[in-house]
Amino acid sequence: MAPRLQISQLCKSFPGVRALDDVSMSVEPGEIRALLGENGAGKSTLGKIVAGVYSRTSGEVRLDDAVLGDLDEKAAGELGIGIVHQEGSLVPQLSVAENIFAGRQPTKWLGQVDIRLMRERAHALITQLGVAIDPAMKVAFLSPAQAQIVEIAKALSRELRLLILDEPTAALTLTETEKLFEIVRRLGRDGVSIIYVSHRLAEIFALCDSVTVLKDGRLAGTRKVAETTTDELIRLMVGREVHLTRAASARQAGPVVFEADGVSAPPLVRSASITVRAGEVVCLAGLIGSGRSEFCEAIFGARRRTAGDIRIGGAPVDPQGPWDAKHAGIGMVPEDRKTSGLFLGMDLVNNIAATVLSKVSSGANFSNTKAERLAGGFVKELRIATPSVRKIVGELSGGNQQKVLLAKWLAMEPRLLIVDEPTRGVDVGARSEIYRLLRGLAEKGVALLVVSSELPEVLALADRIVVMAEGRTVGELPGEGATEEQVLRLATRFTSSVANVREEAVGA
Amino acid sequence: MSVAQISQNEAQAPVEQREALPLRIVRRLANSRELTLFVLVVLLALAMTIVYPHNFPTGPNMRAVLLNLAPVGILVCGMMLLMIAGTFDLSVGSTLALSGVWGGVVAGWWGWPAEAALLVGVLVGAVAGLINGLIVTRIGINALIATLGTLTIYRSLTYVTAGTGVTPISDSFAEYGRTADPILRIQSPFWAMLVLVLVGGWLVARTRFFRQFYFVGGNPRAAQLSGIRVDRLILIGFIIMGALAGIAGVLGAARLNSAVVNAGVGIELKVITATVLGGASLKGGEGTVLGGILGVLFIALIENAMIINAVGVFWQGLVVGLVLLFAVSLDRFKTAGRG
């Protein structure tokens, strides 16, 4: 029997970049194949070519032994190739049902959309996924996880032969991820082939049959999941050994630099307290939606605080906005570096100088020389790989962008630096580099508050772990010797229902 | 391989060779909208000198061109600042008329000294800008809608204030708009524009305070989280824009010794055209005052060529529109090549 999908010598060039170079692979019917690689390895590009989003430069793609010509997304959909995009393809102003059947709404006479039939079918599709979402609801009101489920329902609304999932779990919680896996496994049993694009190794071991690794647009290898190990996959991805193990920490924590007591910022932060000492790395752990990022924003003045005291070096501060926090010596590296962190269209010099305009000026004059010297210093110190300090930041790799973002905040010499998801979208190599930088900062006496969703990261970095759940700080663990299980147990101890009951008890 | 070795490899990216200074300057200029525009302006002026030797390079024609571009030139400084910050103001034409009329009322009807009238006119403009800024930053209405609203409101206030206008205003007031320098004999609005462009250009390009506008336009959320007071800066930008419209308004009224209620109708589109031509982007974060003024000059020359050539007024909009679309599409190619 012919394989479901057969790719031979596929190449794809973008102006100035060879995104895919001579890649061949084949997927059997019903097989769940992971596509793994660092950022920029070409895995999303491969998925998009198969789904007709991009055209290929050369090479051949066969579906059930039939050669695919140059097709667009619509033609690919009609052949039974579905894709769930990383970025999302839903129109927020339209209803769930309308999004699912975009352009293919069932019609009555004169081409009127048969709204009832459409909603019924949408309802059936969503129920099949084991969740309840009202098909008449506007997509704008959905949570990211619900939107992801609608995306999948949209792909499932056709007869599928091949489904491509591009980083589908980025916005999902653990339970939602588990639900998604069940759906994917069932599709596989029904004979649909799945290409599962991801860089989360744990998911691949939990879900997939086999894994194809790409590195720099080339095929690095294909393995059966049952016959491989994490170490081997990482070696294939990065072409070298990488250790994410914990550095021996013999640091002496200094005096308390930062205290937050009973901070509330409804609705997501209810009562959170934390202290951080000089030279200490405190990690804030918790499930998605537990209010970690929001707590940090409240400390930084980027979110309105309704209660709680904040002290820096013992002196009370009351930040009304990020500028106040900055003057008090607090820096914050936000979670989403593209939308809230960097000025992507500007060069390194301007990005790094953004927090310290007064430092790079003589009187009222902005000094380009001073700013360039400042940026040059950080390029060297943080080993940012860039041809020039005048390079546009949007053109750097994810890891180097993250370093620029760090540099921007290091430039103001913070006493407390909050880092929200320090390695999101950063590849494995740059990751250990960023850990090294953060540890180095702590050794210099900066108080660090790190938010992370990735438990291995928390365990590798933290001197102390503070766990949040339901907008409250619920427990604390020493970083040395803590296990993932301990953290998770704290984070899930108060589920929604328990917390509500507690609240009612307090109210009564 | 150890972690340290990896990072060393990563750091061994090619380091840009420092080229000789003249070469660097040429390279930098070749990439700039300002240079492109400057070359176009010079070429256009040369071509017109050759084709119309008796009409174009004459004293009266030059003086007329420079004087006519003065109000647009003054407004372009403020519009450039706003567009750098990622916003804009459609109400400038109405603000200009309202300020001019208030200058006229104070000097002509109330008989106050000319200086007080000028001051009142500029203040009226600044207040109009302040109101725009408050609507945009405090109420959070998008600048397009907000200033579209005030465009009609301010124009209506102009009619309410002075009916059909104030004519004549007063001789001492008119002095301020008519005084010409002894050598080139160009009247004061042009010189006011020149001073504003030079000072504005320096402020926007060089000072720390105005530098912040680029960050606001580049990524407002990141600017906010970098400790830049985004809303306050946008508010200040609108006030500056309003005050500049006020200056243009009172000088225009003084030059004609008449506050016209229809002054500045449609000027906002001309100003935005020049600003975009000069290198601003609707997304913000880019542009220089120098580029803006070159845009103004370029449009003025094209209009002048058509006037000399006796091409009907009706055709001017078509040509200016085509030039704008052409200039912006050039940028599209540049970005595509980079990405």
Query: Which pLDDT value is given to residue A87?
Result: 64
Query: Which pLDDT value is given to residue B2?
Result: 40
Answer whether A4's CB lies under 8 Å from A161's CB: yes
The answer to whether residue B83 sits within a structural domain is yes
Of residues B164, B296, B67, B208, the one with CA closest to residue A370:
B208
Query: Which pLDDT value is given to residue B214?
Result: 93
Q: Is the pLDDT of residue A60 over 70?
A: yes
As a whole number of angstroms, the distance between CA A331 and CA A346 comes to 21
The answer to whether residue A244 sits within a structural domain is no
Query: Which pLDDT value is given to residue B1?
Result: 36
Q: What is the DSSP string of A128-183?
A: HTT----TTSBGGGS-HHHHHHHHHHHHHTS--SEEEEESTTTT--HHHHHHHHHH
Which residues of B fall within a CB distance of 8 Å from A344?
A: 218-219
Answer whether B216's CB lies under 8 Å from B154's CB: no
Query: Which pLDDT value is given to residue A358?
Result: 80
The answer to whether residue A248 sits within a structural domain is no
Residues of chain B with pLDDT under 50: 1-17, 335-339
Q: Residue A465's beta-bridge partner residues?
A: A283, A477
Residue A375 and residue A438 share a domain? no
Which residues of B fall within a CB distance of 8 Å from A436?
A: 3, 7
Answer whether A359's CB lies under 8 Å from A387's CB: no
Tokens of A156: 């499932």
Query: Which pLDDT value is given to residue A241?
Result: 52
Q: With an 8 Å Cβ cutoff, are A385 and B224 in contact?
A: no
Single-letter amino acid, residue B323: V
Tokens of A140: 């704008």
The answer to whether residue B185 sits within a structural domain is yes
What is the CB neighbour count within 10 angstroms for residue A72? Answer: 11
Residue B333 contacts A, CB cutoff 8 Å = no
Specify the residue for token string 């400042």: A374
Between A194 and A499, the higher pLDDT residue: A194
Residue A478 and residue A369 share a domain? no
Number of domains chain B contains: 1
Query: Which pLDDT value is given to residue A92?
Result: 82
3-state secondary structure of B82: helix
Domain containing A110: what range? 5-238
Query: Which pLDDT value is given to residue A493?
Result: 65
Query: What letters, b where the CB count within 10 A reaches 16 and e where it falls short, cover B159-175?
Result: eebbeebbeebbeebbe
Residue A228 and residue A157 share a domain? yes
The answer to whether residue B291 sits within a structural domain is no
Q: B140: distance to nearest CA of chain A, Å?
A: 17
Domain containing B215: what range? 70-265
- Find the mean pLDDT for residues A42-63: 87
Q: β-pairing, A416-420 with A330-333? A: parallel
The answer to whether residue B101 sits within a structural domain is yes
Residues 6+ apart with CB under 8 A from A262: A271, A272, A273, A307, A308, A309
- Burial category of A245 from C-beta neighbours within 10 Å (exposed 0-12, middle 13-18, buried 19 and up): exposed
Q: Enter the DSSP assignment of B18.
A: P
Q: With an 8 Å Cβ cutoff, are B339 and A241 in contact?
A: no
Tokens of B145: 């809608």
Of A374, A394, A412, the one marking the end of a domain is A412
Q: With an 8 Å Cβ cutoff, are A354 and B286 in contact?
A: no
% of chain A beyond a pLDDT of 90: 24
Residue B16 contacts A, CB cutoff 8 Å = yes
As a whole number of angstroms, the distance between CA B92 and CA B73 comes to 13
Residue A167 and residue A311 share a domain? no
Q: How many residues does chain A have?
A: 508
Answer whether A133's CB lies under 8 Å from A164's CB: no
Residue A289 and residue A260 share a domain? yes
As a whole number of angstroms, the distance between CA A218 and CA A202 comes to 23
Of A177, A211, A238, the one marking the end of a domain is A238
Q: What is the DSSP string of A412-456?
A: T--SEEEEESTTTT--HHHHHHHHHHHHHHHHTT-EEEEE-S-HH
Residue A79: pLDDT band by 50, 70, 90 thresholds?
confident
Residue A384 and residue A482 share a domain? no
Query: Which pLDDT value is given to residue B337?
Result: 37
Q: Is the pLDDT of residue A340 over 80?
A: yes
Tokens of A45: 């590009």
pLDDT in tens, A80-122: 898 887 666 788 888 888 888 877 777 777 777 788 888 888 9
Residue B218 contacts A, CB cutoff 8 Å = yes
Residue A249: pLDDT band by 50, 70, 90 thresholds?
low
Residue A300 and residue A218 share a domain? no
3-state secondary structure of A475: strand
Residue A68 and residue A152 share a domain? yes
Answer whether A360's CB lies under 8 Å from A366's CB: yes
Answer whether A207's CB lies under 8 Å from A187's CB: no
pLDDT in tens, A415-473: 999 999 888 777 777 788 888 889 888 888 899 999 987 777 888 888 999 998 888 89
Q: Is the pLDDT of residue A492 over 80?
A: no
- Asked if omega into A334 is within 30° of 0 (cis), the reply is no
Of residues B274, B267, B204, the one with CA closest to residue B37:
B274
Tokens of B227: 């400790």
Q: Which residue of A has its CA nearest to B221?
A: A340
Of A361, A394, A412, the one marking the end of a domain is A412
Residue A443 and residue A347 share a domain? no
Q: β-pairing, A365-366 with A464-469? A: unpaired
Q: With an 8 Å Cβ cutoff, are A339 and B10 in contact?
A: no
Q: Is the pLDDT of residue A168 over 90?
A: no
Number of domains chain A contains: 3
As a whole number of angstroms, the distance between CA A159 and CA A149 comes to 17
Query: Which pLDDT value is given to residue B334?
Result: 53
Query: What letters, b where the CB count within 10 A reaches 16 and e where it falls short, cover A127-160?
Result: eebeeebebeeebeebeebbbbbbbbbbbbbeeb
Q: Which residue of B has its CA nearest to A390?
A: B16
CATH of the domain at A136: 3.40.50.300
Of B218, B221, B338, the CB nearest to A346: B218
Between A363 and A299, the higher pLDDT residue: A299
Residue B332 contacts A, CB cutoff 8 Å = no
Answer whether A412's CB lies under 8 Å from A356's CB: yes
Residue A446 and residue A312 share a domain? yes
3-state secondary structure of B202: helix
Q: With an 8 Å Cβ cutoff, are B207 and A241 in contact?
A: no
Of B15, B219, B286, the CB nearest to A344: B219
pLDDT in tens, A193-225: 999 988 777 788 888 999 999 887 888 889 998
- Asked if omega into B168 is within 30° of 0 (cis), the reply is yes
Residue A230 and residue A189 share a domain? yes
Between A177 and B1, the higher pLDDT residue: A177
Between B296 and A52, the higher pLDDT residue: B296
Of B1, B206, B219, the CB nearest to A366: B206
Lowest average pLDDT, out of A162-166, A395-399, B244-248, goes to: A395-399
Q: With an 8 Å Cβ cutoff, are B10 and A383 in contact?
A: yes
Task: Provide the sign of the torsion angle of the four alpha carbons A491, A495, A496, A500, taken in this order.
Answer: negative
Q: With an 8 Å Cβ cutoff, are A355 and B14 in contact?
A: no
Q: With an 8 Å Cβ cutoff, are B223 and A429 in contact?
A: no
Tokens of B206: 């060089």
Q: Enter the DSSP assignment of B74.
A: H
3-state secondary structure of A24: strand
Which residues of A fall within a CB distance of 8 Å from B333?
A: none
Q: A285: distance to nearest CA of chain B, Å?
A: 22
Residue A268 and residue A174 share a domain? no
The answer to whether residue A250 sits within a structural domain is no
